[in-house]
Amino acid sequence: MTTQVNDLLNALGVSEAARSGGTLAVRSPIDGAQIGAVHEATVADMQAAIARSHAAFLVWRNVPAPKRGELVRLFGEELRAHKSELGQLVALEAGKVTSEGDGEVQEMIDICDFAVGLSRQLCGLTIASERPGHRMMEQWLPLGVVGIISAFNFPVAVWAWNSALALVCGNACVWKPSEKTPLTALATQALFERALARYGADAPAHLSQVLNGGAAVGEALVEHPKVALLSATGSTRMGRAVGPKVAARFGRSLLELGGNNAIIVTPSADLELAVRGILFGAYGTAGQRCTTTRRLIAHESIHDELVARLDRARASLKIGSPLEAGTLVGPLIDKASFDHMQQALQQARAEGGEVSGGTRALAEQYPNAWYAVPALVRMPAQTQVVRQETFAPILYTLRYKTLDEAIAMQNDVPQGLSSAIFTNDLREAETFLSASGSDCGIANVNIGTSGAEIGGAFGGEKETGGGRESGSDAWRNYMRRATNTVNYSRSLPLAQGVKFDV
Ligand code: UN1
């Protein structure tokens, strides 16, 4: 495992010195083996990095946006050329199955392409002025230093959503990755630096920096007054700590926090499609996506049949090393995660749930890793445990009588990220998407809750934090809006008919 990781890091351009001899031990969730010892930044390092980043911003903001796009285009080229190496490293460090590791790098490439196009379309409005000989317009201007805190489960793609947009928008970035995935971050940084070197002299150094370290280093990023936007992905608990601190200094934050995503299946649904959508949503990535399907709300007329089919399919999912062909469910990230899963299952039983699966798997083969049999839990009602996000492969199943009841149940959780309905009834689909339907940032019909494309805005409401990243007009988060009124007449009329004649 270590040799494999070292070969990949060499190919990706991460120096031996950067990945060994440090205090942050990195373990592969595949077998628990140590695969690196990364140097940790101090709070002072973070502060110095933010100062360098601000200096880079002062230069970069004046480079025309389409020229800034050229840097992101070159970065996208590096990612294309190294897709399989970086994807493999994601598999080794985060424990994702290879196709999902590769898919994550594809997501980075896609957002780079999107950002390059955007670099010629950072448009503001022209607005009619009530005054003769006046023109009003708005401009979108670079914002400043963008701090990015990312989670282990999408160790590189979510950073790319933020940084590709932030860079074309004229900002400089400082990245604090998850302590569980520092190697993929170093590799991404190395690829970015190659792009920077190819771009040449117009780009300032320190346009994008990565600092590995613990909570104190992250906190220094959150609290620094020069960080204009702090984009954080992770648990609602983390967001509760970060959001108020950024707000207290009137900084901007973009929060992408927990989800508790449900799929409603109605009597008219294509059950075959629904089973496939629910299986990937609930158990893909071993239940460790913020968009993972955690609840199934099925109509009482089809509930038993659907749940029985799901349960059979669940039991046949191949659990194993993500590097082996055919594996669909890899390991949990660590023991703490497995323990949380067990606690949730125990609580579910106490609340009347009937649990299938959920036990430890492959313990003999991998005594230091944490594989779990995906769990399906038939719940009598949406009890407390169902209302919380447990970052593990647990699907709670619930039954409903009327669509109104199903939608109310789907919305009756603190989180509001993703949701879906499987139906062939147009009325049901449109009701679900309407103002009185799903209250989530993402609402789908006949596809699952996870695996969103980058072209749409990504994020959700309530405890999910309200942020929108990635596609659509999410770029506006990374810019400041200036409203300009230009007077090209020879008089000075005041708005609203106010007179002030001197
Ligand atoms: C996350 O889990 O933080 O929609 C992001 C999806 C992925 C992104 C998930 N494109 O599942």
By most ligand atoms within 8 Å of CB, the mutation choice from 291, 391, 470 for ligand 1 is 291
What is the full DSSP assignment across 17-66? HHHSSSSEEEE-TTT--EEEEEPPPPHHHHHHHHHHHHHHHHHHTTS-HH
By most ligand atoms within 8 Å of CB, the mutation choice from 106, 152, 154 for ligand 1 is 154
Q: Where is 499: in which H helix or E strand?
A: none
β-strands 375-378, 394-400 pairing: parallel
* Nearest residue (CA) to ligand 1, atom 3: 290
Mean pLDDT of 480-486: 98
Q: How far is CA 402 from CA 264, 381, 434, in A?
A: 11, 15, 16
Distance CA 54, CA 323 (A): 41
Atom of ligand 1 nearest to the CA of 450: 11
Pocket of ligand 1 contains residue 418 by CB under 6 Å = no
DSSP 98: H
Distance 474 CA to ligand 1 centre (A): 16
User: What is the value of ipTM here, to two decimals?
Assistant: 0.98
> Which pLDDT value is given to residue 201?
82
21-40 per-position pLDDT tens digit? 999 999 999 999 999 999 99
Spatial CA neighbour of 148 closest among 240, 68, 233: 233
User: SS3 for 302?
Assistant: helix
Distance 450 CA to ligand 1 centre (A): 6
Distance 459 CA to ligand 1 centre (A): 9
Does residue 415 have a pLDDT over 90? yes
Mean pLDDT of 398-426: 98
Does residue 479 have a pLDDT over 90? yes
Mean pLDDT of 317-339: 97
Mean pLDDT of 176-188: 98
Atom of ligand 1 nearest to the CA of 292: 11
What is the C-alpha end-to-end distance of the chain, expressed in Å? 81
> Which pLDDT value is given to residue 60?
98
- The residues that are catalytic are 256
Q: Could you tell me the pLDDT band of residue 122, with boundaries at 50, 70 and 90?
A: very high
Distance CA 94, CA 107 (A): 16
Distance 185 CA to ligand 1 centre (A): 17
Pocket of ligand 1 contains residue 233 by CB under 6 Å = yes
Pocket of ligand 1 contains residue 260 by CB under 6 Å = no
Pocket of ligand 1 contains residue 452 by CB under 6 Å = yes
Pocket of ligand 1 contains residue 289 by CB under 6 Å = yes
191-231 per-position pLDDT tens digit? 999 999 999 888 999 999 999 999 999 999 999 999 999 99
Q: Could you tell me the pLDDT band of residue 326, with boundaries at 50, 70 and 90?
A: very high
User: Which residue is it, tokens 């994020």?
Assistant: 459
Distance 290 CA to ligand 1 centre (A): 6
H-state helical runs in 322-462: 335-350, 403-411, 426-433
Mean pLDDT of 481-492: 98
Residues 323/337, Cβ–Cβ less than 8 Å: no
Mean pLDDT of 120-131: 97
By most ligand atoms within 8 Å of CB, the mutation choice from 289, 389, 440 for ligand 1 is 289
Mean pLDDT of 384-390: 98
Mean pLDDT of 368-384: 98
**Conformation bin of residue 246: beta by default, left when phi > 0, alpha when psi is -120 to 50:** alpha
Mean pLDDT of 61-69: 98
Share of the chain above pLDDT 70, in %: 100
Distance 452 CA to ligand 1 centre (A): 7
Distance CA 399, CA 389 (A): 20
pTM of the predicted model as reported, rounded to 2 decimal places: 0.97
User: SS3 for 338?
Assistant: helix
Distance CA 84, CA 227 (A): 33
Does residue 103 have a pLDDT over 90? yes
Mean pLDDT in the chain? 97
Does residue 64 have a pLDDT over 90? yes
Domain annotation for the chain: domains and CATH numbers: 2-257+465-482 (3.40.605.10), 261-445 (3.40.309.10)
User: Which residue is it, tokens 């919305």?
Assistant: 411
Pocket of ligand 1 contains residue 450 by CB under 6 Å = yes
